[in-house]
Structure 1
Amino acid sequence: MYQIELQQFEGPLDLLLFFIKRDEIDIYNIPIAKITDEYLAYVRVLEEIDLDGVADFIYMAALLINIKAQMLLPNPNENEEGEEVDPRRELVERLLEYVRFKEGADQLAVRREKRNRHATRGDASPVRQQYEQQPAKAVDHTVYDLMDALAHMLHEPPEDDDSTHEVAPLEYSVDEQQRYVMDRLRHARELSFRSIIRERSKPFIIATFLAVLELARQHHLRIHINESRTNFALRWHDNASNGVDSTVPQAS
């Protein structure tokens, strides 16, 4: 398992909110069939990548499937007024509560940031340096957008009709692929992800994708998604030195 610790990548409710915001859906009238199908597509990609925490997404997918099934069947449940109980009600309440907690956490983070700008005598210099060195945003849009682009690349047909067969399966580590990506970027400064995984095996693509996310987390590169959302560009981070930092695994 590999765990991703990017700010935009959080949990199953965040993925639902991503769909709702992207499609401008009324949270009180969620098209459960459409959302369930899209959610399952993302979960399949997560399973292929073998991310840590995918079980939470699978549980949410099962919950969505259950709600979808309830909406297809006659609903015997009624409230005190004699009206049918919407199977989506519990999910909507969970989403609204989650949004309230996120908004509260964001407000606390803003207050903390403002408070951190105030320093007692003798501490002003280190605090100022800390804020001056804060890196810029490493990933445009969200990690879910990256997952969407990755899904297109994993399932698109090969560019030619020649069949290729691997004699033995190859294994790739995230550390190795970090070195591979940084070496390619050192010569080009900007590359499309598709160009560095073209005609490569699925294990190579997945390991490279995880390596890119880890490098973005460490602020060695920046990621920009194209308009079609089927590819993304890798750019040398403004704060990264022209070489491999000590936090990136070195070649032996």
Structure 2
Amino acid sequence: MSQKGESINHVTLKLASFEGPLDLLLHLIKDAEMDIYDIQISSITNQYLSIINRTDQMPLDTIGQYLVMASTLMEIKSRMLLPVIDYEVAEDEIDPRTDLVEQLIEYQNFKNASNKLGAMASNRSDYFSKEQSRTPKEVVDEQPLVIPGLSLDVLQNAFKRVLLRQVDRQPVQKKINMQPFSLADKIIEIEQILESSNGRLTFDDLFEQPMVVSEIVITFLAILELSKMKQIKLKQTNSYETIQIVKIEA
């Protein structure tokens, strides 16, 4: 394997092509088909020094990083070339390459993650996001008839509370009903309930019985529609009390 590593054409390699000394080392290790956990340090050091010796047009701070790594490689190489005198001590001694291998593994993981994120960003650039739709002015102007202090946010929160109560009572049915609820029919139903309640009832009164999701939604829409038609007005004494629905007499 080291012979293949020595045959690399170093002239084609430029330090500007790499993000740093670790990037260059990873390239040399992969190109020589070495095991990153068993780096042939002598061969890699020779290849590394051969490349940086050919570089003379790099900023001082940049080439300095490569020179620091070169000194590290030469130190590891010299430590591995030292003769072993005490074999018992040698068995317990940490491999001089350990720190370097850990740095390379960590760098490789970050580089792989960076490449994946780059690929995701590239794929995302092939799609165009639809701009946020603007609500037509006539729709914005047509707000339900409510007294000051009672906004659509209040109604939406009341609607959420209704859904939560229905879930607590029983699992909300999500299947399509064979007899769908009509908005017009629900409006008539609410008008009839108001008539029998002397023209006044609470928001919660309309949701006392268990309902499927579609009926809850239609009921809420019917309340908004009646308010827009100025058939009812919605009142709330304070933010903690339930909303009152009051019929507006002609």
Q: TM-score range by the shorter chain?
A: 0.3 to 0.5
Q: Which has the higher contact order (CA 8 A, sep 6+)?
A: 1
Structure with the higher fraction of residues in helix conformation:
2
